[in-house]
């Protein structure tokens, strides 16, 4: 089935491709296949995202509160936005996110190809599923999805659509923001996060005409699960010195371990893949956020060596919801011009949600980042004039306003 998006957009794309409908009513540029990047700047892009992630975390995570963020999800959302950013906005995005001079698009494309394990939405996890300690662990599931939702009739620039198709593997989903766009976006997010996240925006600005969204989902089982009997009611000391009681999972054996100035770390590997979790513990009174700096993470990466370790950690299960506007402004992203997406497009809202569950068997986590753009109202529609009933006319000399002829038409088919 073929469908017009807007005459302007399609005419602009005509030299390149036709416009075709694909899964979920997505319009993509036919003939623009997802590229296989050549020499993408992955190292530089990852370095920038690592530094950005720490800066955002340090600026938003309260010392006494749980927090989880996905720098990768936020990076994908603003990477797509970077394809339509102009002037100061583009320069600020590059500074805040550490995007390379040639843009993050090929690097994010390459990361998708390297990290993702499934082509479609991830399968849902059935709650309360019993596990057999002797069963073989399942392979990890990592899914990354990108989406563009635009008001029906809005003209999105073909260059922007081309970048989304070639580097992010997505097109545009026409929606009606005056009717059900929020529900459509939320349904997409719920599907792409296996039901872990069901909503992006609590409320969309009524002027919203376009939303960019990214969803990241991960489910991975430990290479070695925590099958030792847990320690019940162990004391966990909070940042303010008070204690709570919780169960601690235990594991002993040869585990990659590193230590540095005021911290120690272990690497817990996930089965059948390249994923691992680093647990980094500061000395008493130290701040965990300080261990997420690029410098400490680099020390952990190079310092891990296998030791006989007995590790005790709690289970955890929590979510974070964060408005990105204020913290990104504090980091230097204040410009909102994205006319490379559509005429007069301006970033109005930016939301990030993330959730993580860790237990004896492994980890399930999901994140979504939503960017909502307003677009200046189009010109008022032309007034329609239909002379389909009796009307008057006058032929005048404009400089003097002399009426040369005047009359009326009562029946244009009558003669004489």
Say what the pLDDT of residue 8 is. 36
Among 316, 332, 366, give the residue marking a domain's end.
Answer: 316
Do 240 and 140 fall into the same domain?
no
Cα(34)–Cα(13) distance, rounded to whole angstroms? Answer: 17
Confidence of residue 144 (pLDDT cuts 50, 70, 90): very high
The residues that bridge with 144 in the sheet, in sequence order, are: 216
User: C-alpha angle 13/15/16, rounded to 5°?
Assistant: 65
DSSP 291: G
Indicate whether 393 belongs to any domain.
no
- Residue range 310-315: mean pLDDT, rounded: 92
Among 300, 316, 332, give the residue marking a domain's end.
Answer: 316
Cα(219)–Cα(383) distance, rounded to whole angstroms? Answer: 57
Do 135 and 266 fall into the same domain?
no
Indicate whether 382 belongs to any domain.
no
Tens digit of each residue's pLDDT (9 = 90 or more) over 160-170:
999 999 999 99
Q: Which two tokens stand for residue 328?
A: 């990104």
Among 272, 296, 316, give the residue marking a domain's end.
Answer: 316
Cα(59)–Cα(51) distance, rounded to whole angstroms? Answer: 12
Cα(390)–Cα(92) distance, rounded to whole angstroms? Answer: 61
Say what the pLDDT of residue 285 is. 83
The residues that bridge with 115 in the sheet, in sequence order, are: none
- Tell me what the pLDDT averaged over the chain comes to: 87
DSSP 292: G
Indicate whether 407 belongs to any domain.
no
Do 323 and 334 fall into the same domain?
yes
Burial 170-198 (b: 16+ CB within 10 A, else e): bbbbbbebeeebbebbbebbbbbbbbbbe
Instruction: Provide the number of structural domains found in the chain.
Output: 2
Q: Which two tokens stand for residue 339?
A: 């006319």
Confidence of residue 408 (pLDDT cuts 50, 70, 90): low
CATH number of the CATH domain containing 142: 3.30.497.10
Do 66 and 207 fall into the same domain?
yes
Helix (DSSP H) and strand (DSSP E) numbers for the chain: 9, 15
Those residues whose C-beta lies under 8 Å from the C-beta of residue 83, and which sit 6 or more positions away, are 103, 105, 159, 160, 163, 164, 167, 340, 341
Assign 342 to helix, strand or coil. Answer: coil
Indicate whether 400 belongs to any domain.
no
Do 93 and 125 fall into the same domain?
yes
Do 346 and 364 fall into the same domain?
yes
Going through 197-343 in order, the beta strands assigned E by DSSP cover 208-221, 231-237, 243-260, 263-269, 276-282, 305-314, 316-323
Indicate whether 31 belongs to any domain.
yes
Do 164 and 252 fall into the same domain?
no
Q: Which two tokens stand for residue 405?
A: 């002829």
Measuring CA to CA, how many Å separate 124 from each of 107, 194, 219, 366? 29, 5, 10, 12
Assign 93 to helix, strand or coil. Answer: helix
Tens digit of each residue's pLDDT (9 = 90 or more) over 165-207:
999 999 999 999 999 999 999 999 999 999 999 999 999 999 9
Indicate whether 391 belongs to any domain.
no
Do 347 and 251 fall into the same domain?
no
User: What is the residue range of 236's domain?
Assistant: 231-316
Indicate whether 392 belongs to any domain.
no
For tokens 């893949």, what's the residue? 273
Do 340 and 263 fall into the same domain?
no
Alpha-helical runs (H) found in 173-260 = 181-192
Task: With a cut of 80, say whether residue 297 has pLDDT above it.
Answer: yes
Do 132 and 237 fall into the same domain?
no
Task: With a cut of 70, say whether residue 14 has pLDDT above it.
Answer: no
Do 300 and 213 fall into the same domain?
no
Cα(5)–Cα(149) distance, rounded to whole angstroms? Answer: 12
Q: Which two tokens stand for residue 189?
A: 């997010």
Cα(30)–Cα(14) distance, rounded to whole angstroms? Answer: 10
- Residue range 18-29: mean pLDDT, rounded: 54
Please count the other Cβ atoms lying within 10 Å of the Cβ belonging to residue 158.
21
Q: Which two tokens stand for residue 11?
A: 């005419």
Say what the pLDDT of residue 293 is. 93
Task: With a cut of 50, say whether residue 22 has pLDDT above it.
Answer: no
Separation of CA 212 from chain center: 7
CATH number of the CATH domain containing 309: 2.30.39.10
Do 353 and 273 fall into the same domain?
no
Indicate whether 130 belongs to any domain.
yes
Question: Which of 272-281, 347-356, 398-407 bottoms out in mean pLDDT, i.e. has the lowest?
Answer: 398-407
């Amino acid at each position: 089935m073929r469908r017009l998006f807007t005459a302007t957009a399609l005419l602009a794309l005509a030299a390149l491709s036709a416009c075709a409908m694909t899964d979920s009513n997505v319009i993509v540029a036919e003939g623009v296949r997802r590229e296989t990047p050549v020499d993408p700047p992955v190292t530089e892009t990852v370095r920038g995202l690592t530094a950005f992630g720490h800066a955002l975390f340090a600026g938003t995570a309260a010392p006494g509160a749980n927090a989880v963020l996905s720098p990768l999800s936020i990076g994908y959302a603003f990477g797509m936005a970077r394809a339509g950013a102009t002037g100061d906005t583009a320069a600020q995005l590059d500074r805040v996110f550490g995007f390379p001079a040639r843009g993050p698009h090929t690097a994010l494309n390459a990361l998708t190809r390297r990290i993702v394990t499934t082509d479609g939405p991830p399968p849902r996890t059935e709650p309360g599923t019993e596990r057999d300690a002797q069963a073989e662990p399942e392979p990890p599931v990592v899914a990354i999805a990108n989406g563009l939702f635009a008001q029906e009739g809005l003209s999105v620039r073909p260059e922007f659509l081309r970048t989304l198709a070639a580097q992010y593997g997505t097109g545009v989903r026409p929606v009606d923001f005056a009717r059900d766009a929020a529900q459509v976006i939320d349904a997409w997010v719920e599907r792409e996060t296996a039901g872990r996240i069901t909503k992006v925006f609590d409320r969309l600005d009524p002027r919203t005409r376009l939303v960019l969204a990214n969803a990241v989902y991960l489910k991975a089982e430990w290479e070695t699960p925590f099958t030792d009997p847990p320690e019940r009611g162990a004391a966990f000391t909070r940042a303010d010195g008070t204690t709570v009681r919780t169960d601690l999972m235990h594991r002993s054996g040869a585990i990659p371990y590193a230590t540095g100035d005021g911290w120690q770390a272990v690497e817990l590997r996930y089965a059948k893949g390249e994923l691992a979790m680093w647990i980094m513990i500061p000395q008493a009174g130290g701040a965990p956020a300080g261990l997420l700096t690029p410098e400490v993470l680099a020390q952990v990466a190079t310092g891990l060596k296998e030791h006989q370790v007995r590790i005790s950690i709690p289970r955890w299960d929590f979510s974070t919801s964060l408005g990105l506007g204020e913290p990104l402004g504090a980091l230097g992203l204040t410009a909102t011009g994205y006319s490379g997406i559509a005429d007069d497009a301006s970033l109005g809202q930016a939301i990030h949600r993330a959730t993580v569950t860790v237990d004896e068997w492994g980890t399930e986590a999901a994140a979504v980042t939503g960017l909502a753009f307003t677009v200046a109202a189009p010109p008022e529609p032309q007034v329609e004039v239909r002379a389909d009933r009796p009307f008057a006319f006058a032929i005048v000399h404009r400089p003097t306003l002399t009426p040369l002829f005047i009359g009326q038409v009562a029946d244009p088919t009558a003669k004489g």
